[in-house]
Every structure is written in C-alpha cells, then in structure tokens.
Structure 1
C-alpha cells in the first residue's frame, strides 16, 4: 500500500473542468504533480465512468467516486458498488410516467433512458455528454446504481413519494437520484476504510449542492468562487472560479503543488 501524503477529491463541472467541460493543460499538469508529490487525485462526480473516461485519460487520473458515491474505483481497481433494488426502480419509473418526466438508469458501464424530452436533451447537452439509448425497462435486465430524473421543479413530488432516496438537482433539467445512504461524503469514508487510509489528510473541492456531503467528509473544505452559497458557508477556503484557475490557486494555497 502506497503511503500517501494526502487525498484530494475533485468534483468535475464547475470545479475541475473549464467552461467547456474539458481538462485544461494546466490542470492536467497539476494532477501529475500531485501524484509526484505522493498525493492521490480522485474524481468525485454524479456522472458514471463511461461519461468521464475521456476526462480521466486527459488528466491521467485512475481513481474515481462516480454516481454520487454509488461506485468507487481506486488506481483502476473496483472497491465498492451500491445497487438499487429493481422493484424500487420500477416504482420510480411509474412515478416518472405519472409526473410526465423521463428517467435514466446508470451503472458503471452504461446508461439507458425511458424516452426523450426537452429536459433530457438539455441535461446531457448541459454537461456535454452523449444522449443515452432508450430502454424503458433496463432495470429488469441490468444492475442499476443511480437514477436520473429528467424534469424541472419536481423535487417535492419525488421527495414526498420516495423518502428512502436522495434527489440532488445537478443541472436545471435533472435530479441525481440515489439511496439515502449513498453520497460523495459516505464514499470518502468507504474509500479511506477500504484502503486503510483513515489517518491521511483529505481535501474536497466542489461547487454544487451535491458536493455538500463531499466537503463535510473532508478535513479541508474548498469551495469554488462560482459555487453554491451553502458550500461557501462551510468552506475553509473559497478559491477562484473554475474558469479562472481556481483549482491551481487552491492547491498552491495549501502547498499541495
């Protein structure tokens, strides 16, 4: 087991990535420098691995927390996968039809959706990701770690119907949907325990409401200047915007580079 000086957890859109959801050369170089300094960079995102593979390759990062904590891989090795019960998926599917929305199903390898609407198309365009194929009953055939509800202003409907689930507004058009026990923050704890790294300092970087648990779980909490007020309120440090070199600014501030 490698002796790490620190663990760094990075959200993607609005945090590690630029305005076009890309890794800049400066950020890629910083990730390499972290590894040279015995600091492990880890992506922590609501997306699934196929959606971020090109990002991981561009940054040469081999560790991730994806689907808001439902799946964890460290240095290329799977260490955790939390799956949704198919009957629960069916109940959400029926509620989505009732409310006039659409739904996507996620696991570590694939994404399927129930159908196309404006919110679904806008949600995937918002993060510069491919629109998934249609398979309304994918949950009957494949394991599912996370759901994505496509629609606007619908949190209340689903939160009342499914108190056992968490709904995170990740774009204006979509809700990341996972078990109550699943979060980026819980994933930090699971990763540290699984890798016997409980005493290694942790740094969390984020901008959105679904990063709240991530920052709360980390020793040092870093919010982007473009981030949500709820993150800035608990942050140890508010860095510059993601489009203004915020990642490098924070890493240098804490002497990680």
Structure 2
C-alpha cells in the first residue's frame, strides 16, 4: 500500500511546454490526498524559486528542495546540509577563471554570481524554468554569510570535469546540458526521501517517486515504486520500475490509476 508520493517539479508535475500543472494531475493528487496518501515535492529548485505549483500547494505535506539539501514537513525542518565554505569559494574562483555564471543558494535567499560572463545563457535558463524574478543584484557577500545549500554553475561538461576533481566534498547532478547542481557530499533526493520516511514513520516500500531527469535517479531507485515520465531521459527510464506517459499526456494520473493509488 502506497502511503506517500514524491514528485519532481519541472518536467514531471509541471510541463516545460505550458509551465503549468495538467488538470488531470491536479485532480489525481486531490483524490490521492483525500484517500489519506501524503504528498511531497522533490525538486532541485531552491525554496525561493518554487513559483509554479500554487494549484496544488494546499495538498502538499512537505518538501525535498535543492536536491535534498533542505527538507521539511509542514513547519518542521528535517535536514539542512551545507556546502563547506572553502568549496564554495573555490567554485566562485573557477567561475571567474572559466567565465561561467553561478547561482549561489543560501538558506534564506540566493543570488546569481558573475552573470556578465554569459547573460544570454542565464536569460535562457530563466525563461526555460519560467523564473523571471531571479535575484541578480543581491551582493554575493550577503548570501555567503548564510549556510550555502547549493551552487548551480552554468558550465559545460568539460568545464565540470575540470572543476570536480578539486571538490571532494561536493555532489554534482546534471539534468540540463547548460548547468549542473552542486550540493554537499552525500546529499541527494534519496537522502531526503529516507529522512522524511523516518520522520513520518512509513517504510520506503510504501513510497512512490516520480521524475524525469538525472537528479531524480537516486529517489526513483530508492522509493518502493519508481516512476519515470514518458518524457524522461533514457538513464532514468532504464532505472525505473515503470515508465508512464509524458507530463503532457496525463502521465501522473495514468500511473496512479495503474497502481490503484486513486
């Protein structure tokens, strides 16, 4: 019996085409919640950039954010994993050396560092994710005074390979060719799943996780039932227990019907 559902946002709950949640998904989650199933978000987005799920916010029990670096249930913080400050400063130095922008995510707010090195790429990603209000002007020093939960350097795979060997305390996940998400070592969406399951007292076998990208691989493999969207990348599809239809073709609704969650 499934007691908890975990959903990635972009490409899973929210369509890249419409930037909205399909009505079939909204209806399915409402039925699941009415049936007593708990609903959780599992996203690489920082909390400050979760701007596209207002239609279902009232149904959500908790969140795995920043790829597992900050997790909470209701008003209770479950975990907060920060990147060591020397690693943060190293990445920012590389940003200057290799000329790439980098989002710096603190536990209160965030900023974009070195935007001028590639403003068009930053604009493109902001449009893709429908986040026009990314903070560009906040001085990075204001964020560095906080716990740094995630760095998102807008780097190529080649630049990433030049940077990661120097970062033994960093995990890197890439779900878009244009950037990677860096978090502290050991942080993942699967870690967030385990922490929330332990806090709420349900077994992992009673969980179902949905995703479409590389940063969803750990949670799709860890959950009792891992579901890849029809629009997911091939790696995730190979790891999933089931491949549903795409986000724009009622994928979440179809999977929840198949496994009798609704």
* TM-score > 0.5 by shorter chain: yes
CA distance in 2, matches of 1:165, 1:139: 19
Q: 1:160 aligns with which of 165, 189, 201?
A: 165
After alignment, is 130-139 or 6-15 more displaced?
130-139
Q: How does 1:110-125 map to 2 (within 5 A)?
A: 110-116=109-115, 117=118, 118-125=120-127
Q: CA 1:250–1:108 in 2, change beyond 3 Å: closer, same or farther? A: farther
1:193 is aligned to 2:198:
yes
Tell whether 2:82 aligns with 1:83.
Answer: yes
Q: CA separation in 2, counterparts of 1:238 and 1:33?
A: 22
TM-score, length-scaled by structure 2: 0.90
Q: State how far apart, in whole Å, the 2-side matches of 1:140 and 1:199 are.
A: 36
Quote the residue 1:132 is aligned against.
135
Q: Aligned residue for 1:45?
A: 43
What stretches of structure 1 of length at least 5 have no aligned partner?
none
In structure 2, the residue matched to 1:210 is 215
The residue that corresponds to 1:247 in the other structure is: 252
- Alignment deviations for residues 205-246 of structure 1 (CA, whole Å, 9 cap, x no partner): 011011100111101111111111111112111000111110
Distance 1:250 1:210 in 2: 20
* Structure 2 unaligned blocks of 5 or more: none
Q: Report the number of matched residues.
A: 253
User: What is the deviation of 1:86?
Assistant: 2.1
Q: Does 1:236 align with 2:241?
A: yes
Structure 1 contact 170–210 (Cα < 8 Å) conserved: yes
Cα RMSD, aligned residues only: 1.8
Q: TM-score, normalised by structure 1?
A: 0.91
CA contact (8 A) 1:206 1:227 kept: yes
* Closer, same or farther: CA 213–206 of 1 in aligned 2, 3 Å: same
Residue number in structure 1 paired with 2:98: 99
- Cα distance in 1 between the residues matched to 2:200 and 2:126: 33
